Structure 1
């Protein structure tokens, strides 16, 4: 059975990761210590954090009985004070190509889990227990928004497809304004931009809960 036209799919997630990796391949090898947009992390750390997000979302759906009261208990730790707390870290000696392989691999884990997990499965997330579609949408938001952060730090162009942004807005940000372009709206919804008549948000969250 075909999913509804506005459904977020594993193919959408796969596309987001592929586009992000392709965009970041254009980076100079010596540029990765630049600060990522408005984050306190550098560009390398931000891609590690993104890979870790994708890995952890896949892991949440992995147990035969997915947890509903917390995360699968991997050890998350920072490599420096103020750095992201990750279970996934890339080997610096492998260079940027290795970092992007880690991102691709973690994206592939989540794509595979979204494809093979029955749609009635639910798993814990702090922003609402979710289903495979919800975890796909969360993975896409993490991917496109953190790629935006990194692209700002590296001086790279980045704009994901409007349809992709529109679908994840509908799934995770049902109260986002209508009538504005999807990508600027997603940046607004995640506290990274203003919209006409709407100042930049100082706090935000999505709603990953399953809606009928």
Structure 2
């Protein structure tokens, strides 16, 4: 038989690896919540009843929705066997037609300070679950079953983007750290353009802004499934 053993042995396909990236952590989530609450404390009391950015909800409703998102992500990681095909079956209710359907509602009599306390508490629940859940845990999300890191990244995106909704038009200077934005882009928005500033890119990826040469998205999603 002519030829070497190497020539007759089936050739294996080269392995592919995900691009190198920095992981998203519970500390990142803590930082995002802390920065958001700090700037939201500067929202005038009268502005909480006004519409939040381009959303159909007012600022109070939007902050409740954000707190509810963080709570719901924590809840998904909570059961001993997280649900793989549905959300944990809490009852979500809206306070008015067209308003957000939430489990979490803040007591209006507690005012904006109470609302932000609810937001901080929900964020702390998610950060605690991200720290304590095993890395191989997977739980359902409509954008792909995800791991604790993925839920941390989702919580950060919700926090950064909805804080932009909440502060838009108020001149409060919301400009999240570039590294934080870059890490969640790399984790959840794998087709986002490279070489652009991370914060404007995150706003573009979530349908809230244009980028040079890229119109504002009319539909968008992230990909929570681990690499």
Q: TM-score, normalised by structure 1?
A: 0.96
Structure 2, unaligned runs of 5 or more = 1-19
Question: How many Å separate the matches in 2 of 1:40 and 1:140?
Answer: 22
The Cα shift of 1:177 comes to 0.2
Say whether 1:187 aligns with 2:195. no
Please list, as runs of the form range in 1=range in 2, the aligned pairs for 1:52-201 lying within 5 A after superposition: 52-201=68-217
RMSD (Å), alpha carbons: 1.0
Counterpart position of 2:62: 46
The Cα shift of 1:30 comes to 1.7
Say whether 1:9 aligns with 2:37. no
Can you list the C-alpha shifts for 1:82-140, whole angstroms capped at 9, x where unaligned? 00010000000000000000000000000000000010000000000000000000000
How many residues end up aligned between the 2 structures? Answer: 208
Q: Is the partner of 1:32 in helix, strand or coil?
A: helix
Question: How many Å separate the matches in 1 of 2:109 and 2:169?
Answer: 22
Question: How many Å separate the matches in 1 of 2:44 and 2:163?
Answer: 16
Residues 21 and 186 in structure 2, CA contact (< 8 A), matched pair in contact too: no
Question: How many Å separate the matches in 1 of 2:171 and 2:194?
Answer: 30
Q: TM-score, normalised by structure 2?
A: 0.90
Structure 1, unaligned runs of 5 or more = none
Shift of the 5–127 alpha-carbon distance from structure 1 to 2, 3 Å rule, reads: closer
Which segments of structure 1 move beyond 4 Å, counting only runs of 4 or more?
none
